[in-house]
Amino acid sequence: MKSLRLLFTLMALVLFSITAYAQDEDEEKWRNFEVGITGGLSLPSGDLSDWNDSLGAETGFNLGIYGGYYFTADFCTGVYFTYTQEGMPEDWSLNYKFYDLGAYAKYAFSNESNFEPYVKLSAGVVWPKFPTWVTEEQNRLREQSYDPALSLGGYVGLLWYTAEYGGLYLEAGYHSNFTDGTGTDWHGEKYELDANANYMEVKAGIMVFFGSE
């Protein structure tokens, strides 16, 4: 619940800042909306890469969709959904999974070339699913769904215009899931994660714009 309250506070601050910025911006817009799909690699970092000593996550993948509105020619906010999956060592056939839904704010450095760099921040709610020992003897692992937690991310990217209103892009960043203390229960037994789940992301995708009327 604390994570959700923090998320809503952050989103309100972002929206307030964007509205104030947009009111002072008189540059003519040439695009109103963006939509896109994305996919790439997820590289576990910190505690996630060494989870429970021998159960550390391995490099996985991510898939996502998003859509945003441009308040100015270069400043955009939107919503996204991303699914991330990271495997386990040896032959466990289980995965670390993250279902992430949230909002983002993006600033693009538009110019006369076919390449447009940008920076982006995101805040959302993540639903983690972790391999969990469900016996005292630690001889049975189960992919267990945990309560939602706050997620934050920061990214830099580069868009290559392959058409007048869209193109291909490459993006890299760091994503933090504040899962420390997040709990669940199974057959009356309670379980709790004792660390945050962080990972680096490298993504590529397609971005399409819809222009002003």
What is the CATH number for 68? 2.40.160.20
Contact of 198 with 46, CB cutoff 8 Å = yes
Number of domains in the chain: 1
Residue span of the structural domain in which 125 resides: 2-210
**154-175 pLDDT tens trace:** 999 999 999 989 999 999 999 9
Residue 89 Cα to chain centre, angstroms: 24
Residue 139 Cα to chain centre, angstroms: 33
Residue from 132, 148, 139, 149 nearest 187 by CA: 132
User: Which pTM does this prediction carry?
Assistant: 0.84
CA atoms in the 13 A half-sphere facing the CB of 170: 2
pLDDT band at 4 (very low <50, low <70, confident <90, very high): very low
In angstroms and rounded to an integer, the radius of gyration of the C-alpha atoms of the chain is: 19
The dihedral through the CA atoms of 156, 120, 32, 4 has a sign that is: positive
pLDDT band at 140 (very low <50, low <70, confident <90, very high): confident
Distance CA(156)–CA(152), nearest Å, equals 14
